[in-house]
């Protein structure tokens, strides 16, 4: 009888050692981070008609309204959108009021008198 008890105890000890170890819980997976798109050049505007004199290249995300910097507010006379985009310039800041749109080619070599030297903001969208 004692021999059977020793064998049984030995078998139980071996089974306990052979049992699989508990698996650790998987690490929490981080939620995907929404990356903000980088601003890209979308518009070129010039102080004078015919794409002449001082030039401003506006960078932003497509579909975002941007006010012209103070040195280009109310002096734009011609403009072109970058290829693949259509841009609109507005008389008022924050893309409010009357707007005028143009593409990359041919652009607007001479703005209409109602917006020439009066543009204060711009926005470009994919063409």
How many domains in the chain? 1
Separation of alpha carbons 12 and 103, rounded Å: 82
State how far Cα 66 lies from the chain centre.
14
Tens-digit pLDDT profile for residues 54-82: 999 999 999 999 999 999 999 999 999 99
pTM of the predicted structure, to 2 decimals: 0.72
Alpha helices, DSSP H only, in 1-127?
Answer: 2-18
Tens-digit pLDDT profile for residues 39-56: 999 999 999 999 999 999
Q: Tell me if 53 is assigned to some domain.
A: yes
Among left, alpha and beta (phi > 0; psi -120 to 50; other), residue 126 is beta
Domain range for residue 99?
40-126
Cβ 99 vs Cβ 121: under 8 Å: no
Q: Tell me if 21 is assigned to some domain.
A: no
Q: Tell me if 26 is assigned to some domain.
A: no
Looking up residue 67, the CATH number of its domain turns out to be: 2.60.20.10
Q: Tell me if 15 is assigned to some domain.
A: no
């Amino acid at each position: 009888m004692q021999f059977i008890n020793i064998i049984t105890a030995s078998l139980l000890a071996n089974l306990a050692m052979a049992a699989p170890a508990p698996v650790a819980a998987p690490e929490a997976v981080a939620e995907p981070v929404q990356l903000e798109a980088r601003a890209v050049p979308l518009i070129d505007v010039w102080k004078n008609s015919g794409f002449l004199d001082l030039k401003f290249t506006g960078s932003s995300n497509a579909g975002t309204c941007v006010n012209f910097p103070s040195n280009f507010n109310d002096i734009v006379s011609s403009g072109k959108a970058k290829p693949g985009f259509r841009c609109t310039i507005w008389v008022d800041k924050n893309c409010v009021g009357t707007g005028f749109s143009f593409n990359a080619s041919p652009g607007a070599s001479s703005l209409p008198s109602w917006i020439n030297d009066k543009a204060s903001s711009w926005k470009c969208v994919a063409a």
